[in-house]
Amino acid sequence: DAGVTQTPRHEVAEKGQTIILKCEPVSGHNDLFWYRQTKIQGLELLSYFRSKSLMEDGGAFKDRFKAEMLNSSFSTLKIQPTEPKDSAVYLCASSLVPGREEYSAETLYFGSGTRLTVL
Amino acid sequence: GDSVTQTEGLVTLTEGLPVMLNCTYQSTYSPFLFWYVQHLNEAPKLLLKSFTDNKRPEHQGFHATLHKSSSSFHLQKSSAQLSDSALYYCALVASSGSWQLIFGSGTQLTVMP
């Protein structure tokens, strides 16, 4: 089974550049998440889509970070302009929408991430 | 609001000793909790999750018990293995109904020979 696919695996950018990260969720999954991972902050939610609709836009990340989901099988995360403090691993994850049962919750499947270095 | 606290950033222990990684939470409604594990250069993946009937989840020798009285979901294993060295995240399903996960800051477990 194909898992979550993220490209590129590594990205190096100059300060001020625009970069676009890509994600293909698990086929059939309805929820898609973008996280930023750093040693200090751990996993920080950037964006959250349900059935292609933006549910959460990450608050503090709104000004330079923009995630889009043009179809159910592809999402992008644009960072514009990049700053050195954006250096981190960016993880994409997907899951099924949980069932109607109040106490059920579905597993989150993560991609291998994109390691971004901003010089 | 909902939150997850992992007090230990780094845990180092010797192979064969028991493991306990702490996780406490705050949740408006009845909580649903997860442990995710991330080995070096790999994606995080689910290790185990809490059950609604309070059964104790177990996987790969790890288990965790949801204690609502103390708002805890500590991860335990009776005997650590070298291959258990990894980053462990505790996570909570948000009470807001959006089903997004709220992650703790993570605990890096290093098992020494």
How close does chain B come to A54, measured CA to CA in Å? 11
Sheet with B58-59, edge to edge strand ranges? B19-21, B75-77, B62-64, B58-59
A53 interfaces chain B, CB cutoff of 8 Å: no
- Inter-residue contact A103 to B30 (CB < 8 Å): yes
Q: What's residue A103's pLDDT?
A: 44
Search chain B and give the residue with CA nearest A33.
B100
Report which of B22, B6, B19, B103 is spatially closest to residue B60, judged by C-alpha positions: B19
B64-113 per-position pLDDT tens digit? 988 889 999 999 999 999 999 999 999 988 776 666 788 999 999 999 99
The number of residues in chain B equals: 113
The model's pLDDT over A27-61, given as tens digits with 9 standing for 90+, comes to 988 889 999 999 888 898 899 998 888 887 777 77
Q: Rounded to a whole number, what is the distance in angstroms from the first to the last CA of chain A?
A: 37
What sections of A19-78 are H helices per DSSP?
A: none
- In this predicted structure, what is the pLDDT of residue B97? 63
pLDDT digits (tens, 9 = 90+) for A1-36: 578 999 999 999 999 999 999 999 999 888 899 999
Measured torsion, CA atoms of residues A113, B37, B24, B52, in degrees rounded to the nearest 10: 110
Query: H or E segment at B34?
Result: strand B33-38
**C-alpha distances in angstroms, B84 versus A45, B33, B36?**
26, 20, 12
Query: With an 8 Å Cβ cutoff, are B44 and A91 in contact?
Result: yes
Does residue B41 contact residue B105 with C-beta atoms inside 8 Å?
A: no
- In chain A, positions 6-45, which contact chain B (CB-CB < 8 Å)? 31, 33, 41-43, 45
Taking CB atoms and an 8 Å cutoff, what residues of chain A touch B34? 105, 107-108
Q: Which residue has the higher pLDDT, B60 or B84?
A: B84
- In the numeric block, the tokens 């993880």 are attached to A91
Coil, strand or helix: which one is B24? Answer: strand
pLDDT for A12 equals 97
Q: What is the pLDDT of residues B26-45, one digit of tens each?
A: 988 778 889 999 999 899 99
Q: What is the pLDDT of residue A23?
A: 97
